[in-house]
Structure 1
Amino acid sequence: MQASSEESARWWSTAIIRMAPGVIELRGRPIQDLIGTVGLTEMIWLMLRGEPPAPGQAVLLEAALVAGVDHGPQAPSIAAARMAATCGVGLNNAIATGVNLLGDSHGGAGQQCVELLQDICAAQADGADLDAATATVVAAWRERSRYLPGFGHRFHPVDPRRDPLLALVDEAVADGVVEGRFAAAARSVEALLNRPDPDRPDRRPVPMNIDGATAVIYAELGFAAPLARGLFVLSRTIGILAHAWEETGSGRRNKGPIPPSILPEYLGP
């Protein structure tokens, strides 16, 4: 049976864009009214949420996006994009190669930390004290994994992005832009992880990292947990693009993961 034009129109129905000859409207706003008047951060918010952000909300979102742009070639997504750029696949393919490595283990901690903070706040809503709720939720998370998303860093003793992000959150709380519930939950987790342990007096501190600090921002701004990963991908794509472009100009061909002078250790018979 042949589909009617009405059925075809409904098949791809969307509240995001109205597009017709001579017309482009994004969330009900003509594109010509947005060009030159709306920044990229505000545009991201508009597309995802349907309404423009308040100025204070835009400041927080932009800070989170800026903080996650890059972490160097030791990050698998960056390294893979740089290798791909030397293989003749084109810049778009190099970027896609890097983005496709942003999964649960590399790039997913922000989403996971939002879920952790949401669990703590949900336990609080049921009447639990914040520290008690934190202890219960953290214990449950550690039954599934010893890794707690958003805390500690394999490279930085203290993540240099943590303090400026949390300072902006504190300012936003003071200005009434966000409530601060998720920031309080994250700090409660941090306090629990760094509580003195007489059995381990030399234990290294476990401070909040970039994933925890941006998770606080995304949660405070009301973004769904999966969007924390999506927004991180948008941010990191900028770094991936920069590295892929730099590598394109290096003149290398078929760059591998280790220099040609180093051979992998053979473990066979």
Structure 2
Amino acid sequence: MSDDQVSAPTFPTSLGTSTADEIRLLGQDLTTDLMGKVGFGELAFWLVTLRRPTPAETRVFEAVLVALADHGFTPTAIAARVTYLSAPDSLQGALAAGLLGGGSRFLGVTEDCGMFLHQALAGRDASGDTAEWDDTQWDELALEVVRESRANGAYIPGLGHPVHKVQDPRTPVLIGIAREEGLEGPHLKLFQAIGRVHEQVLGRKLPLNGAGVCGAALADLGLPVELLRGFALLARAAGLLGQLAEERRRPIGMDIYATVDRNAVYVDPES
């Protein structure tokens, strides 16, 4: 059999394909069906779920992206800026440095909280038995979940914030948006219940943080909980790009480096 008679392998995809004359994405013509007609947040949702979100879902989803984009000189922003200082010829390196810092303390809480709530609800919401629950019933479940976590020595993602000690301003707003759109589902309800009852078990009152409420909201949208960190990183990419643009306009990377370097003090490792 000659080479031209051998069938070429095929690689199935439901995302993007290109020919010499056309680009198709999600079964749509990119230029005539999507460009100028679909927002970026809507497209991101569609790419993951393979279904176009409703206007209500888009509003909640994009509110999450806005909530997570940027909130000051976090470690991810500092990492991006000092990397840009070191390698201004590598914008992608600086952006990647910031994204690589998305973990269990910053940004990753979105996924951790969504996963935590999802596991707590496993076997309950599947049967629809939580649909008509009132706050008392949610509080009972929350107490069970918090006590179990405490007994296992595990922390509860979404509780506490290094800056917002009383209330994270993002939390009530995102809950309100989800409620307005009829998308306040079991993850958000359990998260709020944890906020109401955790003090009974932990002995102190902690705020429900913005990253956690974002994870609950994304889980209620039906997005895969294993991918929630990706949405946090998608949002933070925009914020980091803004940080790098500002670093070009008003650089502080050298000041950060110099402040740490000039205040470094040698300590005898044996002392």
Aligned ranges 1:146-185 → 2 under 5 Å? 146-157=154-165, 158-173=167-182, 178=183, 180-185=185-190
Moved more, 54-63 or 248-257: 248-257
Q: Which runs of 5+ in 2 are unaligned?
A: 131-136
Structure 1 residues 40 and 196, CA, compared in 2 at 3 Å: closer, same or farther? same
- Confirm whether residue 105 of structure 1 aligns to residue 105 of structure 2: yes
Question: Does the 8 Å CA contact 1:27/1:50 hold for their aligned counterparts?
Answer: yes
Aligned ranges 1:105-254 → 2 under 5 Å? 105-122=105-122, 124-125=124-125, 129-157=137-165, 158-173=167-182, 178=183, 180-195=185-200, 203=204, 205-250=205-250
Moved more, 248-257 or 98-107: 248-257
Say which SS state the counterpart of residue 25 (structure 1) adopts. Answer: strand
Structure 1 residues 192 and 90, CA, compared in 2 at 3 Å: closer, same or farther? same
Instruction: Return the offset for 1:133.
Output: 2.9
Identity, % of aligned pairs? 27
Say which SS state the counterpart of residue 6 (structure 1) adopts. Answer: coil
Instruction: Return the offset for 1:183.
Output: 1.7
Say which SS state the counterpart of residue 259 (structure 1) adopts. Answer: helix
Q: Which runs of 5+ in 1 are unaligned?
A: none
Instruction: Return the offset for 1:189.
Output: 0.8
Q: Measure, in 1, the Cα distance between the counterparts of 2:217 and 2:16.
A: 27
Moved more, 60-69 or 141-150: 141-150
> RMSD across aligned C-alpha pairs, in angstroms?
2.6
Report how many aligned residue pairs link the two structures.
255
Q: Measure, in 1, the Cα distance between the counterparts of 2:149 and 2:93.
A: 37
Q: Would you identify which runs of 4 or more consecutive aligned residues in structure 1 move more than 6 Å? A: none
Structure 1 residues 217 and 46, CA, compared in 2 at 3 Å: closer, same or farther? same
Question: Does the 8 Å CA contact 2:187/2:220 hold for their aligned counterparts?
Answer: yes
Q: Measure, in 1, the Cα distance between the counterparts of 2:261 and 2:184.
A: 55
Say which SS state the counterpart of residue 18 (structure 2) adopts. Answer: strand
Residue by residue over 1:214-249, the C-alpha shift from the partner in whole angstroms, topping out at 9 and shown as x without a partner, is 112101100111221100001011111111121133
Instruction: Return the offset for 1:196.
Output: 8.8
Say which SS state the counterpart of residue 155 (structure 2) adopts. Answer: coil
Question: Does the 8 Å CA contact 1:120/1:130 hold for their aligned counterparts?
Answer: no
Structure 1 residues 223 and 257, CA, compared in 2 at 3 Å: closer, same or farther? farther
Q: Measure, in 2, the Cα distance between the counterparts of 1:119 and 1:172.
A: 25
Match of 2:97, as an amino acid?
T
Question: Does the 8 Å CA contact 1:86/1:248 hold for their aligned counterparts?
Answer: no
Q: Measure, in 1, the Cα distance between the counterparts of 2:258 and 2:200.
A: 41
1:69 is matched with: 69
Structure 1 residues 117 and 263, CA, compared in 2 at 3 Å: closer, same or farther? same
Say which SS state the counterpart of residue 18 (structure 1) adopts. Answer: strand
